Structure 1
Amino acid sequence: MKFTALPFTASLLAVFLAGCASTGPSAPSVATASNTPSSPPPSTSAKPSTNKPSESIPAAPRYQARSWQDLPNWADDALVPGWQAWLKGCAKPRTPWLAVCQAARAVPLERAAIRQFIERELVPYQLANADGSTSGLITGYYEPVYPGSLSRNAQANQPVYGPPSDMITVALDEVYPELKGKRLRGRLVGNKLLPYPDRAEIVAKGLKAPVLAWLQDPLDVQFLQIQGSGRVQLPDGRMLRLGYADQNGRPYKPVGRWLVEQGLLPANEVSMQSIRAWAKANPARVDELLNSNPSYVFFRELRESDGLKADDGPLGSLNVPLTAGYSIAVDPGTVPLGSLAFIATTRPDTAGGLHRLVAAQDTGGAIRGSVRADFFWGTGAAAGELAGTMKQSGQLWLLWPKGIALPQ
């Protein structure tokens, strides 16, 4: 709902700005995104993946031109899987990539041909932090699968809401151009536009919103919101797919950070798995834990009519299916959506090298800064084990079209 009749004042903006979000999903499908709860407490922590507004304004991006030989393992990278993932975005190319996408369609799906095209048409720019360092945080996210039902029952009694009918969304840049891409959410109470309720009030009082599904565990709802998308396994065997639709405008605060601040978990042990273990051991405090994150995400059902096949990954912010192992969520102010990128990091399970061509196809509110990414691991429990423990140091390169000005 577009709302334009209410006059804006500095005081009104002050009420909302802490919770205003970008026009895209606040989590990589996702998630954001690191959106993952495995993030450590500092402001560089992650998603969301996604659904996950940052608590500090990132420094301007810095790009350092490199040679192709500077990219770790570039000569040996398979290229084809990352290239195919990126080509999905060429169905809806962004302006800087129009000519490259058009030419890329004629490139054979062979490593040598792809390498020749990339090296001819693009320039590798290593991303650097404000202090000139080139290492940053790489987290992981995934598409969870949770048991649930379309109707409430004794086991499944935790609602997953669609967008509420009484939430008003205001595009701030219609009045303040310097706030391009920012929106605030609220609801009318009498003649006043007030911030939309936080997680605690929503759970306590309910919503004027459709319930898309009922899950069995409040942590499942929380992690579904953090990841930004997921599947619900219904009793009859059918699978309901859900994707990000909107968010309540409140800032995302990682529940793992709350556990650290309370002295309940050391920062280096925070992961999706350790959070679940703590909640299982402290059932009386689960609501206190979850209410520490005022953000609340609303979903929509994803169908084949959305262009999503059963074996596809979830839709990212680029509105194309994500590819396990080759799609990443990024800060679009640094790495524009639809871009080709190269990542150099390590696996969370074996610490083995992870160097490959990837596609920037998703965003997340906590994915902020130059050297920052959320790595999409895929669907289901195995992917969740990797995503839930991924807090790696890594480096990123933006592969940018020759002759096109770098992002500002």
Structure 2
Amino acid sequence: MRRLAVALALVLTTTLAMADEPVQLLDFDDLDGWAVDDHSAALSVFRNTCRDLDGSDWQALCRVAETAPDARTFFELFFRPVLIGGEDPALFTGYFEPELSGSRTRTSRYRFPVYRMPPEASGRWLSREQIEESRVLEGRGLEIAWVDDAVELFFLQIQGSGRISLAGGGVIRVGYAGRNGHEYRSVGQELVRRGVYQAHQVSAQIIQAWVRRNPTAGRDLLHHNPSYVFFREVDITDPALGPLGAMNRNITPHRTIAVDPDYTPLGAPVWIEKGGDGPIHRLMIAQDTGGAIQGPQRADIFFGYGDEAGEAAGVIRDPGRMVVLLPIERAYQLIPDA
């Protein structure tokens, strides 16, 4: 699915997109569970990227945030909750940083390449099927590593970043470098359309298992998504830190969400009320984007890395509500009669 630094120059485009959607100012008392959240944890994550926010109002708030104020008071004093998109329910999904097995060299086991972005791939380029069937990238020195599972590589592309444990020892981290210009298409939805599963049955684990059981039909299913993601190698300065998100900063499990930057400024605090199993009512920070994350009420929750995080993220597809916290003056500018 992900992730390139796009924080700059978003203020104008975000405002224009908001103009096409219903916008409602709320009070903090309207946020279910606000009083019992760990606002200090959210403030710490906010400080990690607030200096990259564009606008004098954001920068002023960032300077205040760095003085270590009382966290709940900080958010309530300087922000106003804004519901963008009316009363239509939000859609929450989850993502994680996968860990694959791989090698720096191709072997009989490690034969599926993780590619850097070729120079000619700018704009709309070849589809996933065309790239894989034509082998246009082979033999050009674009391989970062080879992995042992084509299905896991497909999901690495959906997640947009990951770790590769090398057969000879060591770990490399790869991050999003770009894509081929084709829009993401959900293979899970395609399985539902074909009548293989019902919507509530589909998860990443179910899709992976089905593709492995049906290698020919599975390859065709993966080609249903024409989007192809390229990677870059990222230095791991601290293995405990999350991968780099769209703001080119490390993201944080259970406090970072991916959003549509046409509606939600990257770096902004966002209150989420996720329903379904394991409801989450929490202040998050919008620090990432994704090809499937489109619309004002759409968010992807980052769960961390590894198999446990992947299992948790893979089953999330829940309704709810997301409310953006904007600087007070900016919030009121969205409501001319407020």
Q: Tell me the TM-score normalized by structure 1.
A: 0.74
Residue 328 (1) aligns with residue 257 (2): yes
Contact kept? 2:3, 2:178, Cα under 8 Å: no
Could you say which residue in structure 1 is the equivalent of 2:160? 228
User: Of 58, 72, 77, which residue of structure 2 is paired with 1:97?
Assistant: 58
Contact 1:138 / 1:374 at 8 angstroms: preserved in 2? yes
Contact 1:341-1:397 within 8 A present in 2 as well = yes
Question: Residue 153 of structure 1 aligns to which amino acid in structure 2?
Answer: T
Secondary structure of residue in 2 paired with 1:102: helix
What is the aligned partner in structure 2 of residue 359 from structure 1? Answer: 285
Distance 1:73 1:86 in 2: 19
Measured at CA, do residues 58 and 248 of structure 1 come closer, stay the same or move farther in structure 2, by a change above 3 Å? farther
- Is 1:115 the counterpart of 2:90? The answer is no
CA separation in 2, counterparts of 1:93 and 1:58? 18
CA distance in structure 2 between the partners assigned to 1:216 and 1:62 by the alignment: 47
Residue of 363, 384, 395 corresponding to 2:321: 395
Q: How far apart, in 2, do the equivalents of 1:407 and 1:89 lie? A: 24
Q: Secondary structure at the match of 1:115?
A: helix
The alpha-carbon deviation at position 309 of structure 1 amounts to: 2.6
2:3/2:175 contact within 8 Å kept: no
1:346 Cα deviation (Å)?
A: 3.6
Matches within 5 A, 1:229-268: 229-268=161-200
Contact 1:334-1:407 at 8 Å conserved across structures: no
Instruction: Letter of the 2:64 partner, please give it.
Output: A
Extract unaligned runs of 5+ from structure 1: 1-25, 30-56, 170-183, 186-195
Checking the alignment, whether the CA contact within 8 Å between 1:329 and 1:362 is kept in structure 2 is yes
Check conservation: 1:144, 1:224, Cα contact below 8 A.
yes
> Any idea what SS the aligned residue of 1:166 has?
helix
Query: Is the 2:211–2:219 contact (alpha carbons within 8 Å) kept by the matching residues of 1?
Result: no
Question: Secondary structure at 2:248's aligned position in 1?
Answer: coil
- Residues paired across the two proteins, number: 318
Match of 2:296 in 1: 370
Output the amino acid matched with 2:268. S
Displacement after TM superposition at 1:407 (Å): 6.8
The answer to whether the Cα contact below 8 Å between 1:336 and 1:407 also exists between their aligned partners in 2 is no
- Give the secondary-structure state (helix, strand or coil) at the position aligned to 1:404: helix
Written as runs of structure 1 = structure 2, the 5 A alignment for 1:2-401 is: 27=2, 60-95=20-55, 96-108=57-69, 113-128=70-85, 132-167=86-121, 169=122, 184-185=123-124, 196-208=125-137, 209=140, 210-304=142-236, 308-346=237-275, 351-401=277-327
How big is the shift at 1:161? Answer: 0.5
Pick which of 204-213 and 328-337 moved more.
Answer: 204-213
Give the CA deviation at 1:86.
1.3
Partner Cα separation in structure 2 for residue 354 and residue 390 of structure 1: 11
Residue in 2 that maps onto 1:7: none
Answer whether contact 2:92 2:317 (CA < 8 A) is retained: yes
Q: CA contact under 8 A between 1:94 and 1:338: conserved in structure 2?
A: no
- Asked whether the equivalents of residues 94 and 337 of structure 1 are also in contact (C-alpha less than 8 Å), the reply is no
Offset from partner CA, 1:84-120 (integer Å, 9 cap, x none): 1111002423225111101111124xxxx11111111
Residues 340-368 of structure 1, C-alpha deviation per residue, up to 9 Å, x if partnerless? 11111146xxx233111110000112211
Q: Deviations over 1:183-233 (max 9, x none)?
A: x33xxxxxxxxxx21111211222345001111111111101000000001
Verify the 8 A CA contact 2:102 2:147 in the aligned structure 1: yes
AA at the equivalent of 2:161: S
* CA displacement at 1:134 relative to structure 2: 4.3
Distance 1:207 1:302 in 2: 25
Amino acid at match of 2:63: Q
Give SS of 2:185's match.
coil
Q: 1:294 to 1:245 in 2, by over 3 A?
A: same
Q: Output the amino acid matched with 1:145.
A: E
Deviations 1:15-43 (A, max 9, x none): xxxxxxxxxxx5258xxxxxxxxxxxxxx
User: Following the alignment from structure 1 to structure 2, what is the Cα–Cα distance between the partners of residues 317 and 216?
Assistant: 28
Structure 1 CA distance for aligned equivalents of residues 243 and 152 of structure 2: 17
Kept after mapping to 1: 8 A contact 2:23/2:334: no
Question: Structure 1 residue 385: deviation in Å?
Answer: 0.4
Q: TM-score, normalization: structure 2?
A: 0.89
- Given the superposition, is the C-alpha separation of residues 248 and 59 from structure 1 closer, same or farther in structure 2, using an over 3 Å criterion? farther
Contact 1:339 1:399 in 2 (8 A): yes
**What RMSD, in angstroms, separates the aligned Cα atoms of the two structures?**
2.0
Q: Which has the higher helix share?
A: 2
The 1-side partners of 2:239 and 2:23 are apart by 38
Label 1:342 to 1:273 Cα distance change in 2 as closer, same or farther (>3 A): same
